[in-house]
């Protein structure tokens, strides 16, 4: 219980800073809406039905927007030298990682909600499936992506290439989230039964679990001086 308290302390600190400045949320939110506008004009809607490619567009927007915000996970600590302060605190490093993941998850889940609402309105999408299953798919997909990206964001921040390195590290590894996330979301949009997406949900859960455990285990090798 005390451990979860530590995780929450780290997450609360990050969320508090975010909700006072809105820096990352504003950047990711604006990105999501503007990409929707650009997508609209990059697709010939007379030839392609937006409904049939909506799942792909939505997931790519969530992931690209997520890269934008998650790349800055350790920026504040790095710039102000606050990292050494945190490293000297008695918080175990795996709890620090999980706290960062939790804060990033909350932020990206909010953005994912915005993307679904905005794209639904922009492309006049109709959703016929189970909302609970959709929440499960998006929640687990975002969790897996955040678990992986938070660790690699710490890696990228430690290099001289910084955030520009992050996509090279994340994109090859995040393919399972794209495949299972878009397949399941597409099927739910088409009103298919929940049984057809349960395999995807299990795979997304496995992906999240693998990278949460790996991230918590290896974070100390990344963050220690």
Partner 1 sequence: MSLKRIRWGVLGLGTLGVATIVLLHVLIFFGVPTESFQGVVQRIFYIHVPAWWITFSAFGVVALCSAVYLWLGDDRLDAAAVAAAEGGMVFCTIGLLTGPLWARVAWGAWWTWEPRLTLALLLWFIYLGYFLVRKSTENPEQGKRLAAVVGIIGVLDIPVIHISVSWLRSLHPEAVVLRPEGPNLDASMLWTLMVGLLAYSLIFSSLFLARYAVEKLERVLALRDVTTAPAHGVDVS
Tokens of 76: 């504040």
Cα separation of 110 and 108, whole Å? 5
- State in angstroms the smallest separation of the CB of 110 from partner 1: 26
Nearer to partner 1, 131 or 175 (CB): 175
- State in angstroms the smallest separation of the CB of 99 from partner 1: 19
- State in angstroms the smallest separation of the CB of 160 from partner 1: 5
Tokens of 112: 């994912």
Nearer to partner 1, 35 or 204 (CB): 204
Catalogue the long-range contacts made by 173-177 (C-beta closer than 8 Å, 24 or more residues apart). Answer: 173/148, 174/63, 174/145, 174/148, 174/149, 176/144, 176/203, 176/204, 176/207, 177/59, 177/63, 177/141, 177/144, 177/145, 177/204, 177/207
- State in angstroms the smallest separation of the CB of 13 from partner 1: 24
- State in angstroms the smallest separation of the CB of 147 from partner 1: 11
Residues in the site for partner 1, rule: CB under 8 A?
A: 148, 151-152, 155, 158-161, 165, 168-169, 171-173, 175-176, 179-180, 183, 203, 206-207, 210-211, 214, 218, 221-222, 224-225
- Helix 93-122 and helix 198-223, axial crossing angle in degrees, nearest 10: 140
Nearer to partner 1, 95 or 152 (CB): 152
Residue 200 contacts residue 184 (beta carbons within 8 Å): yes
- State in angstroms the smallest separation of the CB of 183 from partner 1: 7
Nearer to partner 1, 110 or 168 (CB): 168
Nearer to partner 1, 48 or 161 (CB): 161
Nearer to partner 1, 158 or 192 (CB): 158
Cα separation of 117 and 135, whole Å? 13
User: What is each CA distance from 27 to 23, 33, 70, 184, 222, in whole angstroms?
Assistant: 6, 10, 11, 27, 26
């Amino acid at each position: 219980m005390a451990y979860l308290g530590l995780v929450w302390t780290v997450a609360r600190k990050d969320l508090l800073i975010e909700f006072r400045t809105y820096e990352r949320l504003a950047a990711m939110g604006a990105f999501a809406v503007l990409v929707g506008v650009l997508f609209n004009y990059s697709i010939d809607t007379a030839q392609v039905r937006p409904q049939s490619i909506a799942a792909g567009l939505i997931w790519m927007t969530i992931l690209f927007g997520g890269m934008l915000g998650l790349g800055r996970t350790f920026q504040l600590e790095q710039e102000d030298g606050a990292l050494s302060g945190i490293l000297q605190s008695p918080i175990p490093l795996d709890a620090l990682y999980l706290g960062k993941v939790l804060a990033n998850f909350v932020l990206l889940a909010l953005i994912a909600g915005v993307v679904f609402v905005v794209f639904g309105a922009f492309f006049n999408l109709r959703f016929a499936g189970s909302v609970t299953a959709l929440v499960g798919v998006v929640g687990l997909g975002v969790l897996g992506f955040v678990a992986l990206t938070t660790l690699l964001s710490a890696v990228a921040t430690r290099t001289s290439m910084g955030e520009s390195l992050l996509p090279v590290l994340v994109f090859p590894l995040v393919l399972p989230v794209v495949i299972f996330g878009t397949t399941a979301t597409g099927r739910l949009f088409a009103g298919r039964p929940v049984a057809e997406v349960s395999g995807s949900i299990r795979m997304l859960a496995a992906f999240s679990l693998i990278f949460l455990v790996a991230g918590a285990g290896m974070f100390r090798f990344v963050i220690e001086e």
